[in-house]
Amino acid sequence: MKKKFLSLPLLIRRTLMTLTLSVLLSILAIVVVIFISDMKVQQQLNIKQSEFITIKPGTSFNAFTKQLVNKGWLQDRLWLRIYAKFNPKNSHIKSGTYQVEANIRTVDLLNLVVSGKEHQFSITFIEGSTFKQVLALLAEHQHVTHQLANLTPAAIAKKLLIAQDNPEGWLFPDTYAFTQDTADISIIKRAYEKMQSALDIQWNNRAADLPYKSPYQALIMASIIEKESGRHTEHPRIASVFVNRLNKRMRLQTDPTVIYGLGERYQGDITYAHLREKTAYNTYKIKGLPPTPIALPGAQALQAALNPELSNYLYFVSNGAGEHIFSTNLADHNRAVTKYQRNKK
């Protein structure tokens, strides 16, 4: 009996059909895998509340997926790894600290860490606060790298290239955003540069015939104005009182400078003995301005110091309600003191 052999053309056709079917099945399998991986990354991660994730420099994508599993955000990293194979641009993660919202989708987390848009922490230096208080605020911030802990104010001033040994007043009060582990000296430097810029602008647009020999003296005055009143609308008038007193060679006689000079000895009340004590900051005893600023002046205080209101006022006293009563002579001032201060006591 003779064996039947397939003709060569028929054999080729069958082979091609088999190969074609294999290729189609392979393509179908790949499409299914891509579809499933795409579907998986659209699912929400197991995050019940907003959290932070830190990706260290040099972290691979595989290490990142392990990190998600270890945090309990992801049960199985297989599909995420497959997704990255077919979407390589979404595997180029960047180091940093990111804030991840509750129930975020896996793909949205990937987009976040690939974008490199790290979470911005913030710190606020309040108008009227002192350099010491700013340092304490930075020291308490858990997302700041602390490099200033063992440095004196003079050493910090030297690092910042501040001409004075005491950096008091040289930081602009504002809110500063920064990323995880930013050095405290870096934030301080930004605040110093911002104050330099603000002071330069105000100095170049100052009123004529002011009793300041330098921008630094204007900074000192602005800090006193800042401590005298938290009401910005009063700053130009308070500035006029101090400018008028300086022009008449009268002592400033302002309590905030006395308090600053007392330092830790100040316990909430200025005594008669304090006013009689001759310190560099006791403006009841010294003539002119104290040697340094006494706090961080804000933008309004800077502007007021260099563009004071035109007035004849020489005195002011608090009315106990957040405002001040201004007088042009001592008799009126004493009556205001009696009415608003002594009666209150």
* Contact between 286 and 315 (Cβ < 8 Å): no
CA distance 325 to 190: 37
Tokens coding 66: 């392990």
CA distance 52 to 76: 20
Residue 52 pairs with which residues in a beta bridge?
A: 99
Quick: pLDDT tens for 308-327.
999 999 999 988 888 899 99
Query: What's the average model confidence in pLDDT over 169-180?
Result: 97
Give Cβ neighbours of residue 29 (< 8 Å, ≥ 6 apart): none
pLDDT value, residue 17 = 73
* Contact between 170 and 218 (Cβ < 8 Å): no
Tokens coding 339: 């009415």
Query: What's the average model confidence in pLDDT over 13-23?
Result: 71
Helix extents (H) in the chain: 8-41, 61-70, 78-86, 106-115, 131-140, 153-159, 184-204, 215-228, 235-247, 255-262, 272-276, 299-306, 330-337
pLDDT value, residue 11 = 67
Tokens coding 276: 């009689």
pLDDT value, residue 8 = 61
pLDDT value, residue 2 = 53
* Contact between 254 and 318 (Cβ < 8 Å): no
Q: Which of 44, 39, 112 is nearest to 74 (CA)?
A: 44
Where do the domains of the chain lie, and which CATH numbers do they carry?
Answer: 47-119 (3.30.1490.480), 122-197 (no CATH), 208-342 (no CATH)
| Confidence at 276, pLDDT banded by 50, 70, 90 | confident
Quick: pLDDT tens for 228-251.
998 899 999 999 999 999 999 999
Rounded to two decimals, the pTM is 0.83
Quick: pLDDT tens for 114-124.
999 999 999 99
